[in-house]
Amino acid sequence: MKRMKRLKIIMVILIVIVVILVGFAYRTIYFDYGNDLFMKKKGKQLGFTEKVYKANDGSEISYLEGPDNGEPLLLIHGQMVSKEDYAKVLPKLSNHFHIFAVDCYGHGKSSKNPDKYQLIPIRDDLIDFMRDVIRDKTFLSGHSSGALISAAIAAKEKEQVKGLLLEDGPFFSTEPARAENTFSYLEFKTIHDFLAQKVEKNYTRYYLNHTYMKSLFNKDGKDNWDFIVKNPFSKRIRENSGKMPIVWYYPPEIGLNGIIFLTRNMQDGTGNYDLRFGEAFYDFSWFYGV
């Protein structure tokens, strides 16, 4: 009898462990790393709608518009993400502002045209967007490259901008002779090198082999990058090359799946980000006409 009781207890413990592991793996695999489910889960409930603005040359700017709960606030995201990058703050912001969150060219659902991957065309089309769609003095906030765009808009269209918030804007670190010494520029070089070669078709796999970030993991002669990042993610790519690799035992909180998820791109069909936008920061064509 005692032996049977022990066996039952062991079985219960094993079942509990399996259930916990399955739940843990499910959460990790199906976690919304790119906030792609914002509109399905919260957006419509909050009164957000997804719309498209057509610029004078026919280029399309996809944007989210929230309910009219205050003065207008235009949000301009940073590189490699999309308007959904603001998903976690949109619920609270929309209680106080009339939100407009745009996809920059080369990102999300907006047009993919390298001729538009420069500060001046993006700035001018967003000024037209403010005039044609928002039609009121606007609070403006931009993150990273979006901060550069926001500053450029405010400098040219002072009468249209009521307030300006710049988040982590690389105002000097993107300039020639300074940019080359930054981590971001070395990542743009990875993009440039990938686009220049013809052998590897999957950017994430190329990134895992060539990113400068691996030097931050490898310390004291230990190849931590390969063990912790490259090998497990490469295995997932081999198992399903058409989807972004997710390592089930890395919880979202440690950020590794999130970092690799940022490599989604239009070129290999895993995402909407056009790698040529990043190349504009590598060859400095972003600054043409400035």
Q: The domain that contains 44 carries what CATH number?
A: 3.40.50.1820
Residue 6 confidence (pLDDT)? 79
The residues that bridge with 142 in the sheet, in sequence order, are 76, 166
Q: How far apart (Å, rounded) are the C-alpha atoms in residues 148 and 168?
A: 10
Please give the helix or strand (H or E) that residue 119 lies within, else none.
Answer: helix 119-129
Whether residues 163 and 70 share a domain: the answer is yes
Whether residues 156 and 245 share a domain: the answer is no
Give CA 16 to chain center in angstroms: 36
Among the three residues 122, 140, 167, which one is the final residue of a domain in this structure? 167
Whether residues 147 and 253 share a domain: the answer is no
Asked whether residue 122 is domain-assigned, the answer is yes
- Is residue 120 pLDDT above 70, yes or no? yes
Asked whether residue 237 is domain-assigned, the answer is yes
Whether residues 26 and 49 share a domain: the answer is no
Across the chain, what does the average pLDDT equal? 94
Asked whether residue 263 is domain-assigned, the answer is yes
Average pLDDT over residues 105-117: 98
Asked whether residue 174 is domain-assigned, the answer is no
Residue 2 confidence (pLDDT)? 67
Whether residue 275 contacts residue 181, with contact meaning beta carbons closer than 8 Å, is answered with no
Whether residues 42 and 145 share a domain: the answer is yes
Whether residues 26 and 42 share a domain: the answer is no
Residue 245: strand, helix, or coil: coil
Determine if residue 144 is left, alpha or beta; phi over 0 gives left, psi from -120 to 50 gives alpha, anything else beta: left
Residue 276 confidence (pLDDT)? 98
Question: What count of other Cβ atoms lies within 10 Å of the Cβ of residue 38?
Answer: 23
Whether residues 153 and 75 share a domain: the answer is yes
Whether residues 120 and 219 share a domain: the answer is no
- Is residue 139 pLDDT above 80, yes or no? yes
Whether residues 72 and 107 share a domain: the answer is yes
Per-residue pLDDT tens digits for 218-273: 877 778 999 999 999 999 999 886 789 999 999 999 999 999 999 999 999 999 99
User: Domain span at residue 3?
Assistant: 1-30
When pLDDT is cut at 50, 70 and 90, the band that residue 42 belongs to is: very high
Q: How far apart (Å, rounded) are the C-alpha atoms in residues 132 and 243?
A: 38
Whether residue 75 contacts residue 92, with contact meaning beta carbons closer than 8 Å, is answered with no
Asked whether residue 280 is domain-assigned, the answer is yes
pTM: 0.93
Closest by CA to 290, choosing from 160, 180, 171, is 171
Strands (DSSP E) contained in the chain are 49-54, 60-65, 71-76, 97-102, 138-143, 161-167
When pLDDT is cut at 50, 70 and 90, the band that residue 13 belongs to is: confident
- Is residue 22 pLDDT above 80, yes or no? yes
Residues 6+ apart with CB under 8 A from 283: 192
When pLDDT is cut at 50, 70 and 90, the band that residue 141 belongs to is: very high
How many domains, the chain?
A: 3
Q: How far apart (Å, rounded) are the C-alpha atoms in residues 152 and 137?
A: 16
Whether residues 18 and 105 share a domain: the answer is no
Average pLDDT over residues 143-165: 96
Whether residues 196 and 231 share a domain: the answer is yes
Whether residue 107 contacts residue 280, with contact meaning beta carbons closer than 8 Å, is answered with no
Whether residues 20 and 66 share a domain: the answer is no
Among the three residues 167, 190, 211, which one is the final residue of a domain in this structure? 167
Asked whether residue 172 is domain-assigned, the answer is no
Asked whether residue 126 is domain-assigned, the answer is yes
Residue 218 confidence (pLDDT)? 80
Extract the tokens encoding 52.
């498209």
Asked whether residue 173 is domain-assigned, the answer is no
Residue 84 DSSP symbol: G
Percent of the chain with pLDDT over 90: 86
